[in-house]
Amino acid sequence: MTTPTTILVVDDSRVSRLMARQYILGKHADWIVEEAGTGEDAIERVKTLTPDLVLMDVNMPGMGGIAAAEQLRRLLPTLRISLLTANVQSATRERAAELGIGFMEKPITEARIAELVAVLEVAG
Amino acid sequence: MFNLSELENDALVEIFNIGVGQAAASMSAIVHEEVTMSVPSISFMHRAAAAVLLGRGDHEHARICGVSQHYEGAFETEAILMFPEDKSLEIVRLMVGEAVPLQELTEMEQEAMCEIGNIILNSCVGTLANIFQHELQGSLPVYHVGTSDEILTASGSHSDTVVLMLHIDFILEKHQIHGYVAFILDISALHDLKDQINRYIARAMGQA
């Protein structure tokens, strides 16, 4: 039996988590969408979850998304991570590239989520 | 009162035009309908005068909801996005669609408006940062409800603080919703902004 694809959505905004969940499950109702409200929570969750993808907001209370992504990268070097942010500044994109992680602009839309989902579909 | 030269003013309007275009695209993706935005008009005024201008709607003391974020880096500013309070639930509904029950929608209204503010303000400010080639660090968004004067005061300004009024109408045609954006800058921030504009002009003219 294959393990269902699991995506961890990390965002302090409940409405953003809700939209990401809605669009992911709209594409693949059998996938698992887990949620975390902070970077700290996300780091705890990956210890037991082993997600296929982490969607990480940048501007969050506490450690923030970039610091959390850095820690996740150290803990799980092969984990697929994508920043999910309203911050359109080049500096943020460059930081994502340095960390070897993806970058998706907010707002969350069906088309943007579909692009991310397609990458996981190809990866199998 | 603080003033910009004609060239500086022209450059600032152009920079905001680009930022506003990005913000309109973001807003349109949020509400799933076309959003038209006016060409930004820029004026520097004291906070009290800005409050009067913003409150000059259908009702003199109309309550509005505002989402503010503090930015620092290239210059320091408090950016505020404002909508009429009675339209905020409608905007959130446009964002999440019909699937969410009204009670849940009401519970998440403030949070959703913060997220909308975060997206719109970052679209605008992020474009400025890219053009100035200087990073701007933003705080978490804060939600306010009140008259325009109360919101500008809650955002940390005094009545004699200079406000860069970037007056942009966000118009959602089908829903007749108008929104505004304002940037609050103190004198030192205004000089930093002017300095950034002049560097941008120098680069544009091949002098830097």
* Count: domains in chain B: 1
Whether B65 and B183 have beta carbons less than 8 Å apart is answered as no
Q: Whose structure tokens read 């699937």?
A: B99
Q: What are the pLDDT digits (tens) for B1-27?
A: 678 888 888 888 878 878 887 888 888
Residue A95 pairs with which residues in a beta bridge? none
Across the interface, do A91 and B112 touch by the CB < 8 Å criterion?
Answer: no
Question: Domain range holding A66?
Answer: 21-123
The rounded distance, in Å, linking the Cα atoms of B159 and B152 is: 9
Closest CA to B48 of B188, B162, B192, B191: B162
Q: What is the pLDDT of residue B26?
A: 85
With respect to residue A62, please indicate whether it lies within any of the assigned structural domains. Answer: yes
Which chain A residues have a beta carbon less than 8 Å from that of B115? 13, 15-16
With respect to residue A108, please indicate whether it lies within any of the assigned structural domains. Answer: yes
With respect to residue B81, please indicate whether it lies within any of the assigned structural domains. Answer: yes
With respect to residue A9, please indicate whether it lies within any of the assigned structural domains. Answer: no
Query: Element (H or E) spanning B26, and its range?
Result: helix B6-31
Q: What are the pLDDT digits (tens) for A61-99?
A: 899 999 999 999 999 999 999 998 887 788 888 889 999
Residue B35 pairs with which residues in a beta bridge? B172
With respect to residue B125, please indicate whether it lies within any of the assigned structural domains. Answer: yes
Q: Is residue B57 pLDDT above 70, yes or no?
A: no
The rounded distance, in Å, linking the Cα atoms of B186 and B75 is: 10
Which range is least confidently modeled, A46-60, B40-54, B186-200? B40-54
With respect to residue A99, please indicate whether it lies within any of the assigned structural domains. Answer: yes
With respect to residue A3, please indicate whether it lies within any of the assigned structural domains. Answer: no
With respect to residue A56, please indicate whether it lies within any of the assigned structural domains. Answer: yes
Backbone angles phi, psi at A70, to 5 degrees: -60, -45
With respect to residue B173, please indicate whether it lies within any of the assigned structural domains. Answer: yes
What CATH number is attached to the domain comprising B110?
3.40.1550.10
Question: Best interface-test mutation with B: which of A22, A88, A90 has the largest number of B CBs within 10 A?
Answer: A88
Q: Is residue A124 pLDDT above 70, yes or no?
A: no
With respect to residue A13, please indicate whether it lies within any of the assigned structural domains. Answer: no
Question: Domain range holding B29?
Answer: 6-204
Q: What is the pLDDT of residue B157?
A: 66
Q: What are the pLDDT digits (tens) for B105-140?
A: 888 899 999 999 998 899 888 888 988 889 999 999
Question: Best interface-test mutation with A: which of B68, B115, B127 has the largest number of A CBs within 10 A?
Answer: B115
Phi/psi zone of residue B161: left (φ > 0), alpha (ψ -120 to 50 degrees), beta?
A: beta
With respect to residue B38, please indicate whether it lies within any of the assigned structural domains. Answer: yes
What CATH number is attached to the domain comprising A101?
3.40.50.2300
With respect to residue A87, please indicate whether it lies within any of the assigned structural domains. Answer: yes
* Count: domains in chain A: 1
Give the pLDDT mean for B52-63: 66
